[in-house]
Structure 1
Amino acid sequence: MSTLLPFKAVRPVADKVALVTCRNYDDYSPAELAAWLNFNPYSFLHVINPAYMYAQKITLDKRFKGVAHKYQDFKEDGIFVSEDTPALYLYEIQTKNQTFTGIVGGTLIEEYKKEVIKKHEDTLQYRVELFKDYLHQTGFNTEPVLITYPDRETLNSWIDQKKQEAPLYHFSTTNKEKHTLWRIDHPEEIQWIQTQFEAIPELYIADGHHRSASAELLYDEVGDEHHPNVNAFMSFLIAESNVKIYEFNRIIRDLNGHSREAFLEALEAHFILKPKGQELWKPQDKFEFGMYLDGNFYALFYKQEHPNAGLLENLDAQILYDYVLHPILGIEDLRNDERIEYLPGKQSLLTLKELVDEGEFEVGFMLYPSDIAEIKALADQKLIMPPKSTYIEPKFRSGLLVYEL
């Protein structure tokens, strides 16, 4: 059984919502970040990055306190308003190629602990503790955990009907997306939605593993006696057929001392190589890999020497690590080795090609994206995917809804 909780959100006033909300902080280059902060006094970037020009010169403690103070300034200046009653929200994101729609509410940490809410990625303890301290000192979170649930026709039909009503917000952003938000505050409607989720035995985290782990750690430390909302974390729940899963491609700075010829020969132990020349070739199926090396593309077909291997061993990202990145290129730590970087599969192959051609990187690898069934199967068996195995959309706008602790 899955529990969905309404909450009293803090949100931008309607006439400023397009100015306040922003992409994830990490999505901005330093120059882009500076431009937005200089140009737009309402941007939520001012809250999450206070005194940005001096951010590297202050302690994390002072920075977190600065976030809390700036957030209060936004509330006192009337940029944010607080809901009087708990509510759920229906949120739609229209991109150029796809429309995503999901429900925003609170999910219980106790259900996360009991693995009613399942995960498929590992976390770094220092990042978990860092964000836990951020939550504790700022007292809010505005980036929900992205959670998928099995498609339910009753929920799909309700969503279609709800979209016919007048929204709370409807706005466009400079990255050419359209965003629409509906408030769900009638008790009968909330109860009906909760009943729908109570019939779902398990939920799966798609994105936000560190956020959920940090929320759990904070709950374990402070309890909910003086922090009534700390027993849950804000989540964006979306039907599994509506998520978009991309791969993460890999680019490597050197061949670990191998010549081009020796490297290609080493690959042939586990892969069939087919030169593709200047063709921008991408994998078409599982067990296929693309490679860009020395101005040429290659198709690599895994020989599947162990067809009955387990789920993790048959995961493409794991295969690349087990047979190429670790034994040949000497990359052991996929998270921290400075010789490897990652590019979301939604980016053009030309970006990967240009980075290699410019000389900073020696070789690039393209993967075939995992699907939701593979992710769920791994989570069900408590298996952990390698770092940067999936890039999953949709991405929530920061500052759209604030969950106060």
Structure 2
Amino acid sequence: MAKIIPFKAVRPSRDKVGLVASRSYEDYSRKELKAQLRFNPFSFLHIINPGYKFQHEVSGVERFKLVRNRYLEFKEDDTFIKDEIPSFYIYQLNTRDHSFCGVFAGASIEDYDNNIIKKHEDTIERREVLFKDYLKTVGFNAEPVLLTYPDNDNIALVIKKTTSQRPEYEFATPDKSVHRFWLINKKDDVETIRREFKKIKTLYIADGHHRSASSSLLAKELRSEDNNQTGNEAYNYFLSYMIPESELRISDFNRMIKDLNGLTKEEFLIKLDEFYRIENRGEELYQPTKKHHFSMYLDDDFYSLYLRKSVYNFSDALSTLDTQILYKTILEPILGISDLRNNKRISYGYGNQHSLKMKDLIDKGKFKVGFSMLPVTIDEMKLIAEEGLKMPPKSTYIEPKLRSGLTIYEF
């Protein structure tokens, strides 16, 4: 049964929250990042990019220590405050075309280790260790793991009651999104949420596999150093944002490849014919409407590719996944791409408009061929996790994407 806890969040003061909260660091172009650091002294980006203060690039342990220093400065200046009462926190994000509402909480490392919190992606060990060392040095976590749970009426009632009141925070961002934030610290409401999550057999990681794996590594290390541990230490939990399955949004990742692996266009199409019924759609922007149907763009033309199911072996949940089918029938055997994480001949794009972006990049000669497919569904993602399998990298682009620095979990 899932165990979650309320916690005393460190968070921005009400008057500065819109200035503090930032998008993910990787989401900024160099020009945007420079502008934020230059003109917004309250941005959380100053904490995770601490070398800016000295106009000097820093990395490794030196950077981790400076992150810690910038964080303490934000607390000393009262840019950050710490709650006195352990709370759950509701965060509502309204974008131009979707609304998300979930709960910040501490999720159990024990549940993660015991597979009550299930995974669907592989992680890279060196990244796990690097982020574990980072967490140990800075002493806080500001990047929540996105967990999803089956819709629950009792949790929904607490959220509805809380969100009918004036929010603690309410601010807009330049992408025309509106952000609202409430505290849940009344005893009855806290206990209702804890009790209802105890009834849930399984939580699923939607986004944040490396962050959760690193938190598990850190807990093991700190337990080995702590002779007086009780099991209730903060390091036995990790910062999570819990969202009901019905509100999770999954988009597809397209694949773009720089060459045809030495094949001519005609040779490539003949090899494709073994596994697919191929139809040239010309300049028509073809988008798949069914599973196991793919769109391909090559030499100014779109193609529809329909899998020949009679020649493909469906053996488990992974084998039915379109990203895996594409990998096993085209990317690996024909285009010679075995390592999807590190091969520089392949690139990825996501979102509803990316087919047009993919076409533009191929027309400009940056790539030779591109593929798109329907997004993975939440049921497919759960089934992969239940069977202990792992999706190919870049199989899902999952929303919501959360602001950094909105709630911070200390340990």
- 1:251 has 2:259 as partner: no
Deviations 1:278-309 (A, max 9, x none): 22222112101111111111111111124643
Once residues 139 and 55 of structure 2 are traced to their aligned partners in structure 1, the CA distance between those partners, rounded to angstroms, is 20
SS at match of 1:368: coil
- Give the aligned partner of residue 241 of structure 1: 246
Change (3 A) 1:315 1:54: farther
Percent identical residues: 47
Once residues 129 and 281 of structure 1 are traced to their aligned partners in structure 2, the CA distance between those partners, rounded to angstroms, is 43
Once residues 230 and 90 of structure 1 are traced to their aligned partners in structure 2, the CA distance between those partners, rounded to angstroms, is 22
Once residues 56 and 125 of structure 2 are traced to their aligned partners in structure 1, the CA distance between those partners, rounded to angstroms, is 22
SS at match of 1:328: coil
Deviation at 1:49, TM superposition (A): 1.1
- Give the aligned partner of residue 165 of structure 1: 165
Deviation at 1:228, TM superposition (A): 2.5
Q: Which amino acid aligns with 1:67?
A: V
Once residues 140 and 174 of structure 2 are traced to their aligned partners in structure 1, the CA distance between those partners, rounded to angstroms, is 26
Q: Which amino acid aligns with 2:103?
A: I
SS at match of 1:37: helix
- Give the aligned partner of residue 278 of structure 2: 273
Once residues 320 and 184 of structure 2 are traced to their aligned partners in structure 1, the CA distance between those partners, rounded to angstroms, is 43
Deviations 1:195-236 (A, max 9, x none): 111111111111000000000001111126579311000110
Deviation at 1:54, TM superposition (A): 7.9
- Give the aligned partner of residue 291 of structure 2: 286
Residues 160-169 or 102-111, more deviating: 160-169
Alignment of 1:62-141 (within 5 A): 62-141=62-141
Structure 1: 5+ residue stretches without partners: none
Once residues 74 and 300 of structure 2 are traced to their aligned partners in structure 1, the CA distance between those partners, rounded to angstroms, is 51
Once residues 93 and 347 of structure 1 are traced to their aligned partners in structure 2, the CA distance between those partners, rounded to angstroms, is 22
Deviations 1:80-100 (A, max 9, x none): 111111110111100111100
333, 338, 354: which one aligns with 1:332? 338
- Give the aligned partner of residue 41 of structure 1: 41
Change (3 A) 1:56 1:291: farther
Deviation at 1:55, TM superposition (A): 8.6
- For the 8 Å contact 1:55–1:63, the answer to whether it is kept is no
Q: Which amino acid aligns with 2:393?
A: P
Once residues 55 and 263 of structure 1 are traced to their aligned partners in structure 2, the CA distance between those partners, rounded to angstroms, is 50
- 1:181 has 2:181 as partner: yes
Alignment of 1:140-159 (within 5 A): 140-159=140-159
- For the 8 Å contact 1:135–1:141, the answer to whether it is kept is yes
Once residues 323 and 307 of structure 1 are traced to their aligned partners in structure 2, the CA distance between those partners, rounded to angstroms, is 11
Q: Which amino acid aligns with 2:277?
A: I
- Give the aligned partner of residue 221 of structure 1: 221
Deviation at 1:57, TM superposition (A): 4.5
- Give the aligned partner of residue 318 of structure 1: 324
Once residues 338 and 354 of structure 2 are traced to their aligned partners in structure 1, the CA distance between those partners, rounded to angstroms, is 27
Alignment of 1:11-26 (within 5 A): 11-26=11-26
Once residues 357 and 108 of structure 2 are traced to their aligned partners in structure 1, the CA distance between those partners, rounded to angstroms, is 41
- Give the aligned partner of residue 372 of structure 1: 378
290, 300, 303: which one aligns with 1:298? 303
Task: Report the aligned-residue RMSD.
Answer: 1.6
Aligned length: 405
SS at match of 1:191: helix
Once residues 347 and 145 of structure 1 are traced to their aligned partners in structure 2, the CA distance between those partners, rounded to angstroms, is 27
Q: Which amino acid aligns with 2:248?
A: V
Deviations 1:53-104 (A, max 9, x none): 9898433111111111111111111111111111101111001111001111
Change (3 A) 1:289 1:52: farther
Q: Which amino acid aligns with 2:329?
A: Y
- Provide runs of 4+ in structure 1 moved above 6 Å: 53-56
- Give the aligned partner of residue 365 of structure 2: 359
Deviation at 1:124, TM superposition (A): 0.6
Once residues 57 and 249 of structure 2 are traced to their aligned partners in structure 1, the CA distance between those partners, rounded to angstroms, is 39
- For the 8 Å contact 2:254–2:354, the answer to whether it is kept is no
Q: Which amino acid aligns with 1:27?
A: D
TM-score by length of 2: 0.95
Once residues 353 and 30 of structure 2 are traced to their aligned partners in structure 1, the CA distance between those partners, rounded to angstroms, is 20
Once residues 102 and 45 of structure 1 are traced to their aligned partners in structure 2, the CA distance between those partners, rounded to angstroms, is 24
Q: Which amino acid aligns with 1:322?
A: K
- For the 8 Å contact 2:120–2:381, the answer to whether it is kept is yes
Once residues 187 and 156 of structure 1 are traced to their aligned partners in structure 2, the CA distance between those partners, rounded to angstroms, is 17
Structure 2: 5+ residue stretches without partners: none
Deviation at 1:348, TM superposition (A): 3.1
